[in-house]
Structures are given as structure tokens and as C-alpha cells.
């Protein structure tokens, strides 16, 4: 038993996963590739304490019943694996807005999984950590890794996990996030996954996704930013076409989202290398190269509906900040 603090970074999916083969185990219908984002981080402390009568969960300085319930369920999963019954106090803080489509559950559950397993005295491999984190939040299985990450779409819990395919320093890509709203997104990813198959385009997407993953991997391997950018921008629009045509329809974009997308396409006409992608929320990730980052940030900041920008680069695997075993 002990106390451990871990920092884990969020990610941005370059190829998205959508739909689940298994809701309980969070097995995805398709594989995905993502980029870990240093600068969009969650710091989580887990302390197992014999004096506690129940788990205590504090996120962003307050206790939220819905999110706390998911955390407690994950702690129970970890206690069962460790053969322990001691309750824990969890304190978690993000450096970026949560619930806005910036994958805060990914970094949150990655940090929680690593901190809780270490504090309870378990030693897991990265693969085992990824499998466990996935059961708390699908995206979290990628956020236990570093650099550019691929999540394998296995048919069983043991074969659905993530691994780094390129280290953080392999390709210096920058992500400027255009924040158009800091409120919670109206559509939860869980709702969206359940409706994926109601879109007439969904099966077409699944039939081409593996070929797309290969093309994205090739562009990354060759450090071909333009090929990568075209692929990920097209992928984001295709992904949102599934949301738009599901029944009922899910419109995730806000007016600011569209303003940013149009601005990014205008930047390219001016010779600035920039491409957008969006998760299930409304805030827009704009990927660029180091030499264009300042220009991209300045142009996005001047847009009427952008309230803030957050800069990130390719991140390392989670960092163990502190651990004390009693």
C-alpha cells in the first residue's frame, strides 16, 4: 500500500476509432493511430489508506458523481486484480479543459491506472497497463504509451492494446488547439459509439480503415507532413460524417469549429503548412511544423470565435512524479 503521483498526457487521434465490438471491455471496431500531446496533461495522485471508509475522488478541485463513479469502478477493478480491499483517495487535475473533446478521460484514466497499480504494489508491463487502462476509458489505453501510438483492434481483451510505433522525437509535429468553448460537449463518446452503426456510411468506413492506417503509418515513417496532413484532415471529415448521419444525428461542431477549419484551409493557400482534425467535441486541433507554429497560433488567436489556444508537441510516456510505499 502506498501513495503515487503520475502525470499522463492526452492524445489526438490521427485515425479515429468509432464503434465498439464489446461495450464492457471497450474493444474498438477498428484500430487507430494517435499522437501523445505534451502540454495537455493530467496529474493524478492515488493514496490507499486503511482509515478510509469509502473511496474519495476529487477532480479539478471538486467531486463529480458521474465521473467519480467511473473512477471508483476502475479502482475496484484494480483492487480485484491485486487481491486488496483498501479504499483510496484520488486527486486529479488537468492542465486543459475536461469534457470538451480533448481526450481528458484518456489522460485521466491512464494516470489513474498507473498511479493506482503502483500505489497498491503491482508491477505491470506497458502492454498489461494498456489493457487495464482501456477498461476504464478506451482512449486511455493509448495514453499509457509515448510518441506516436497504434491501438490494435483485437477481438479479445488480451489482443486489444496500444504500443508506440514511433518515439516522441521521431517527427517534430506541433499541435495548436483552437479552443472555441470550454463547456462540456453535448454528445458523449459513449452515446456516439452506440449509434455508429445507424449511419449508412459506417460499414463503408470500416471497409477502408485498415488501408488508411497503413497510409498514415507510411507518411509518419517517411516524415511526409503534407501526405499526413491530407490524410488526417480527410479522416476527421469522414469521421464527422458518421456522426452527422447517425440516427439521431449528432452535430458536434460549433460555429467556431467551422471558422477554424476554414481558416486552416486559407492558411495553406498562403503557404502555411497546417491541417485540422477534431475528436468528438468542438475544439479543433491544428497540426503544423515547428517553423509555422507561431504564425498558426497568431492567426487562430485573431479569429472572432476562438477564446484561447493551447500549444502541444509530441509527448513522452507518462511520468512517475512521486511514489511512497508504506
Query: Nearest Cα to 36, choosing from 313, 323, 282, 325?
Result: 313
If you ran DSSP here, which 8-state letter would residue 251 be given?
-
pLDDT, residue 101, reads 61
State the fold for domain 2-170+315-325: Ribosomal Protein S5; domain 2 (3.30.230)
Instruction: Give the pLDDT mean for 88-112.
Output: 86
| Dist. CA 129–CA 147, nearest whole Å | 16
Q: How confident is residue 65, by pLDDT bands cut at 50, 70 and 90?
A: low
Fold of 174-314: Alpha-Beta Plaits (3.30.70)
- pLDDT tens for 135-150 read 999 999 999 999 999 9
Distance CA 11, CA 140 (A): 9
Cα(10)–Cα(202) distance, integer angstroms: 26
Q: What percent of the chain has pLDDT over 70?
A: 98
**Inter-residue contact 292 to 273 (CB < 8 Å):** yes
Would you kindly state where each structural domain of the chain is located, as residue ranges?
A: 2-170+315-325, 174-314
Taking the model in full, what pTM does it have?
0.94
Segment 12-38, tens digit of pLDDT: 999 999 999 998 899 999 999 999 999
Q: Distance between CA 71 and CA 62 in Å, rounded? A: 14
pLDDT confidence bin for 64, thresholds 50/70/90: low
Question: Which residues contact residue 210 at a Cβ distance below 8 angstroms, ignoring those fewer than 6 apart?
Answer: 30, 31
Q: What is the mean pLDDT of the chain?
A: 94
Amino acid at each position: 500500500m502506498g501513495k503515487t503521483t503520475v502525470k499522463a498526457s492526452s492524445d489526438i487521434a490521427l485515425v479515429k476509432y468509432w464503434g465498439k465490438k464489446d461495450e464492457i471491455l471497450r474493444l474498438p471496431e477498428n484500430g487507430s493511430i494517435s499522437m501523445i500531446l505534451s502540454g495537455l496533461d493530467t496529474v493524478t495522485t492515488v493514496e490507499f489508506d486503511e482509515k478510509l471508509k469509502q473511496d474519495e475522488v476529487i477532480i479539478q478541485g471538486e467531486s463529480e458523481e458521474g465521473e467519480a463513479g467511473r473512477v471508483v469502478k476502475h479502482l475496484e477493478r484494480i483492487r480485484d486484480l491485486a487481491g486488496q480491499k483498501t479504499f483510496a483517495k484520488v486527486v486529479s487535475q488537468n492542465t486543459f479543459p475536461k469534457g470538451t473533446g480533448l481526450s481528458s478521460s484518456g489522460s485521466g484514466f491512464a494516470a489513474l491506472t498507473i498511479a493506482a497499480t503502483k500505489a497498491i504494489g503491482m508491477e505491470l508491463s506497458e502492454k498489461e497497463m494498456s489493457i487495464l487502462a482501456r477498461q476504464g476509458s478506451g482512449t486511455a489505453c493509448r495514453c499509457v504509451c509515448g510518441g506516436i501510438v497504434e491501438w490494435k483492434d483485437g477481438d479479445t481483451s488480451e489482443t486489444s492494446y496500444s504500443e508506440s510505433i514511433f518515439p516522441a522525437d521521431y517527427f517534430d509535429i506541433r499541435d495548436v488547439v483552437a479552443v472555441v468553448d470550454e463547456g462540456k460537449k453535448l454528445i458523449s463518446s459513449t452515446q456516439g459509439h452506440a449509434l455508429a452503426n445507424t449511419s449508412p456510411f459506417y460499414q463503408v468506413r470500416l471497409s477502408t480503415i485498415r488501408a488508411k492506417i497503413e497510409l498514415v503509418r507510411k507518411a509518419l515513417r517517411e516524415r511526409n507532413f503534407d501526405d499526413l496532413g491530407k490524410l488526417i484532415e480527410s479522416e476527421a471529415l469522414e469521421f464527422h460524417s458518421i456522426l452527422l448521419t447517425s440516427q439521431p444525428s449528432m452535430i458536434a461542431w460549433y460555429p467556431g469549429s467551422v471558422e477554424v477549419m476554414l481558416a486552416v484551409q486559407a492558411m495553406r493557400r498562403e503557404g502555411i503548412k497546417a491541417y485540422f482534425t477534431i475528436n468528438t467535441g468542438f475544439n479543433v486541433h491544428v497540426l503544423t511544423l515547428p517553423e509555422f507554429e507561431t504564425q498558426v497560433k497568431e492567426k487562430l488567436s485573431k479569429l472572432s470565435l476562438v477564446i484561447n489556444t493551447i500549444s502541444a508537441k509530441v509527448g513522452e510516456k507518462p511520468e512517475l512524479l512521486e511514489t511512497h510505499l508504506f
